[in-house]
Amino acid sequence: MGVMTSHRKRPEECMNVNHSTTTTTTPPPDSQRKRPRLLNSMSRPAPTPNGIVSRISRYPDAKPPLIREVHAPCRNRKFDLVRRDLAEPRTPARARATVDVKGSVLFAAYEEARRSALAEVRYLPSKGKEVIDVDAESSGRGVSDDSGVGEVVEVHDLEAKVVVDGGVVRRRQSTSSPDSALTNKGDNSLKVVVSGGKVWGSEIDFSSVQAYKKLIESADRRDDRLKRLEFEITLNEKRRETFNLLRPKKELVEVVPKEPFVPLTKEEENEVARAFYTNRKKILISHENSNIEISGEKFQCLGPAAWLNDEVINLYLELLKEREQREPQKYLKCHFFNTFFYKKLIGGRNGYDFKSVRRWTTQRKLGYGLLECDKIFVPIHREIHWCLAVINKKDKKFQYLDSLKGRDSHVLNVLAKYFVDEVKDKTGKDIDISDWEKEFVEDLPEQKNGYDCGVFMIKYADFYSRGLGLCFKQEHMPYFRVRTAKELLRLRAD
């Protein structure tokens, strides 16, 4: 039988233009190899540079990647097809398949231990916790309790099991495992563990009588706690009120009537303005009881930014005494020394001379006893600054008032000694002033410039003689200057 041969090349040989590639087949004889190559070159055109064959020949043959051998169990992939079968019952064949796929017996042992541990944790019956039976027909949302007592709620439902573990609700299919605590009553009832008294994400309606009673009890516990907190709040409020009563309070400033701040009328303002522009040598004011005369030149001290002189201060203090005598029921009984008293009192060799002022306060000269007065006012002139000292018999105090917040304990010591000598001279008795307070008044209107000290001083005496607190300020000084000028012109203090 003859053998038929074919000199035609196979398609793969025709496409193979990479002559450098080695093959494992035995090359044909020269007679058969050269002829097709000649025919091929004659019958087929040469490949163009942009042809498919020429482009394919540029790339080398693909080499397979190196295969990495696994010498130890690898980490499980997150999405593994084998893990879908973990929920299926464990069989020896499935266990072997798992070992074959994972390549390690340790992984199968790990899965087995993990599964048994989860079963023990999820279905372990809670000890010392109360069980509430809920009807199987109930459904709906869970009820949360604010109490801190853990609870186990049993629901007769064969379709689902919900375990609340640390506030997380897990839902599992019912099982008939004999190790499960859900089969204690033989009905595969559902137990919901309420951690911290709360059911998170539960879809169960606690509508039975027992659950309702439990909610009522938890509400009562909350009410008791709220009542206890309310009692503590009330008790603390009462304690605070008691402490406020015991806390020392500053002297309250009384409501000032309108009398110390009555504005001047248009006629009074014109009268004061004319007095400021009168002849400086003309006597504007003459007071018979004190024999004080004030000329136009001395009256100018009541103008803006001027220092008050002795005549104006002494006349104003005399008018304050006359005001008290006109209306004794309205004002305190006071005595006002003039500006020369203190200078005379400290004019002795030792800085104290009672004899020089002993006859200033006789009953015949004053018309009343000095010891009958509630307050005794003593103007103090310290070179270029006016202050006020008060012998406050009503409150048993020696007070010192300085508009610049200055202090001079020597003044209070001198007045204390004078008061003891005055009582001894007029009554023949020794008075004990050891319990009297020496006070430097701090809560008083403060001077903001260098020329209103005299106005501050006479207004201290004015308000104290009224029995009022010192409720004026630096802003009132221009008004007080004009009002004092009006009162001096009319010889009447309002």
Known catalytic residue: 408? no
CB atoms within 10 A of CB 461: 22
- Give, for 171, the enclosing helix (H) or strand (E): strand 168-173
Catalytic residue among 156, 287, 381, 385: 385
C-alpha distances in Å from residue 251, one per residue of 291, 376, 407: 39, 21, 21
Which residues are within 8 A (CB) of 71 and not within 5 positions of it... i.e. 6 or more apart? none
Catalytic residue among 145, 402, 452, 462: 402
Q: Which two tokens stand for residue 79?
A: 């999405």
Q: Give dist(CA 347, CA 358) in Å, integer.
A: 13
Q: Give dist(CA 293, CA 192) in Å, integer.
A: 106
Q: Which of 257, 250, 251 is nearest to 472 (CA)?
A: 257
C-alpha angle 210-212-216 in degrees, rounded to nearest 5:
115
Amino acid found at 399: Q
Known catalytic residue: 61? no
Known catalytic residue: 385? yes
Residue holding tokens 């701040």? 261
Contact 162, 190 (CB under 8 A): yes
Q: Which two tokens stand for residue 234?
A: 């009330």
Q: What is the β-pairing status of strands 292-295 and 385-392?
A: unpaired
Catalytic residue among 301, 334, 373, 453: 453
- Give, for 131, the enclosing helix (H) or strand (E): strand 130-134
List active site positions.
385, 402, 453
